[in-house]
């Protein structure tokens, strides 16, 4: 018998106590296991709840991510639109810059003085040509117009400007300056659109030379009218005609001219082939056949400083090239219908044009 069994045999009471301790230990362990299981169950439930919460949060994050992605795409689209709009604005800015540059160059290059006034008659802008009549400086922009002196002889200029702004109707008048020049003042409303106007524009044009030229032209016109009137109401007393026709046509022309001299008080002296070019200067009219327009003699006569008038006789007046004849006093008669009355009318017409030409030539 071994020692354990011997001990149990000798101490049965002790054996019973040991069993009790084991049983208690087992109970304790089972209780502890039960508690641990309960704790584990609670932990598992908490983990599951936490997992569900995390899963829900993850879904929310995914939804937020999708919204952010959608927002990002919208922002990208807006950014592209902004880029397009920016490009369009850039083009507009370049276009406006070009227009402003063009206007600035026009303002500087034109001889017409231009002055811009706002609704309160304050100076907005002006060009260099305006300073010839109005004493303007760069520092005058923003100042009232009535503070600025000018060379115009007008006591109603300010009232005229105010009337244009109030009535929205343009106004113009010619005024003298202190240095005796004549200028055209044109005042027009500054139009923004069809329904809106702001201030006015004053254009100043020097018309001194234009008026002098117009007076000179009018004087020459009156002189020409007087010459034509005198010619129409007086007989042509004398005319030197150089007959450069040939053969039968030359004889026919001489006969018509001779008959014309006998029928009226006119004296048409007929010459034929002068010996030197010097005598051409004393000839009033040279008579050519249309077939001789390329003859050296025609070129010689038409190259004179003051060539005579040209009377051209032709069988077909429509076949003549008038381009080389435009710089001369010319009349063309049809050979088939040539009469004394027609010849006299043509000579009178050529002499009238020649007299007018001499009066107009300096």
- Domain shared by 225 and 134, yes or no: no
Looking at the predicted structure, is the pLDDT value of residue 240 above 70?
yes
Residue 254 confidence (pLDDT): 76
- Domain shared by 250 and 280, yes or no: yes
The answer to whether 200 and 125 are in contact (CB under 8 A) is no
Looking at the predicted structure, is the pLDDT value of residue 187 above 90?
yes
For residue 105, being part of any structural domain is answered with: no
For residue 104, being part of any structural domain is answered with: no
Cα dist from 355 to 305, 328, 359, whole Å: 16, 13, 6
For residue 266, being part of any structural domain is answered with: yes
| pLDDT average, residue stretch 247-269 | 68
According to DSSP, the residues that pair with 332 across neighbouring strands are 312
Range of the domain at 68: 3-91
Domain edge (last residue) among 48, 64, 91 = 91
- Domain shared by 69 and 118, yes or no: no
For residue 341, being part of any structural domain is answered with: yes
- Domain tally for the chain? 3
Q: Any idea which of 44-58, 202-216, 309-323 has the lowest mean pLDDT?
A: 309-323
Domain edge (last residue) among 57, 91, 125 = 91
What tens digit of pLDDT does each residue of 314-336 get? 888 777 777 777 778 888 888 88
Provide CB contacts within 8 A for 133, sequence distance 6+: 113, 150, 151, 152, 177, 183, 204
Looking at the predicted structure, is the pLDDT value of residue 239 above 80?
no
Looking at the predicted structure, is the pLDDT value of residue 192 above 80?
yes
- Domain shared by 152 and 238, yes or no: no
- Domain shared by 49 and 121, yes or no: no
Looking at the predicted structure, is the pLDDT value of residue 122 above 90?
yes
Q: Which pTM does this prediction carry?
A: 0.49
Residue 228 confidence (pLDDT): 60
Q: In which residue are the tokens 């599951």 written?
A: 48
Domain edge (last residue) among 64, 91, 118 = 91
| Top-confidence range, 11-20, 139-148, 277-286 | 139-148
The answer to whether 271 and 357 are in contact (CB under 8 A) is no
In the chain, what percentage of residues exceed pLDDT 90? 30
DSSP 308: P
Q: Pick 252 or 120 by higher pLDDT.
A: 120
Average pLDDT over the chain, rounded to whole? 81
The pair of three-digit structure tokens given for residue 321, joined into one six-digit string: 């090239």
For residue 351, being part of any structural domain is answered with: yes
Residue 304 confidence (pLDDT): 79
Residue 273 confidence (pLDDT): 56
- Domain shared by 54 and 129, yes or no: no
Of 110, 156, 116, 157, give the one whose Cα is nearest residue 136.
116
* CATH number for 195: 3.30.450.20
Looking at the predicted structure, is the pLDDT value of residue 161 above 60?
yes
- pLDDT-derived band at 271 (thresholds 50, 70, 90) equals low
Residue 332 confidence (pLDDT): 87
Residue 235 confidence (pLDDT): 44
- Domain shared by 15 and 139, yes or no: no
- Domain shared by 136 and 67, yes or no: no
* DSSP conformation letters of 172-218: EEEEEBTTS-EEEEEEEEEEEETTEEEEEEEEEEE-HHHHHHHHHHH
Name the pairing type of β-strands 113-117 and 123-126. Answer: antiparallel
- Domain shared by 225 and 349, yes or no: yes
| pLDDT average, residue stretch 214-230 | 70
Residue 233 confidence (pLDDT): 47
Residue 277 confidence (pLDDT): 46
Residue 209 confidence (pLDDT): 87
Looking at the predicted structure, is the pLDDT value of residue 265 above 60?
no
């Amino acid at each position: 018998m071994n020692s354990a069994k011997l001990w149990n045999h000798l101490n049965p009471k002790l054996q019973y106590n040991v069993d009790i301790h084991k049983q208690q230990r087992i109970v304790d362990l089972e209780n502890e296991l039960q508690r641990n299981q309960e704790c584990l169950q609670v932990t598992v439930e908490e983990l599951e709840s936490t997992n569900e919460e995390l899963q829900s949060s993850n879904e929310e994050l995914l939804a937020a991510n999708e919204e952010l992605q959608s927002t990002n795409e919208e922002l990208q689209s807006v950014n592209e639109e902004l880029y397009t709009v920016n490009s369009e604005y850039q083009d507009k800015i370049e276009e406006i810059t070009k227009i402003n540059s063009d206007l600035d160059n026009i303002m500087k290059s034109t001889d017409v003085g231009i002055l811009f006034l706002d609704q309160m008659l304050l100076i907005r802008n002006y060009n260099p040509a305006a300073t010839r009549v109005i004493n303007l400086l760069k520092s005058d922009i923003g100042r009232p117009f009535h503070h600025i002196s000018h060379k115009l002889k007008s006591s109603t200029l300010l009232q005229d400007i105010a009337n244009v702004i109030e009535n929205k109707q343009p106004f113009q008048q010619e005024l003298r300056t202190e240095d005796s020049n004549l200028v055209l003042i044109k005042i027009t409303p500054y139009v923004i659109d069809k329904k809106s106007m702001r201030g006015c524009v004053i254009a100043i044009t020097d018309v001194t030379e234009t008026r002098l030229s117009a007076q000179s032209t009018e004087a020459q016109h009156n002189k020409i009218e007087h010459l034509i009137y005198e010619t129409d109401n007086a007989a042509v007393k004398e005319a030197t005609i150089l007959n450069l026709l040939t053969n039968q046509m030359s004889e026919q022309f001489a006969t018509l001219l001779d008959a014309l001299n006998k029928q009226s008080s006119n004296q048409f002296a007929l010459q034929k082939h002068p010996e030197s070019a010097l005598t051409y200067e004393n000839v009033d009219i040279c008579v050519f056949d249309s077939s001789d327009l390329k003859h050296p003699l025609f070129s010689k006569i038409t190259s004179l400083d003051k060539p005579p008038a040209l009377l051209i006789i032709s069988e077909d007046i429509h076949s003549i090239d008038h381009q080389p004849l435009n710089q001369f006093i010319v009349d063309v008669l049809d050979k088939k219908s040539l009469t004394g009355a027609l010849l006299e009318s043509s000579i009178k017409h050529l002499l009238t044009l020649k007299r007018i030409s001499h009066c107009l030539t300096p």
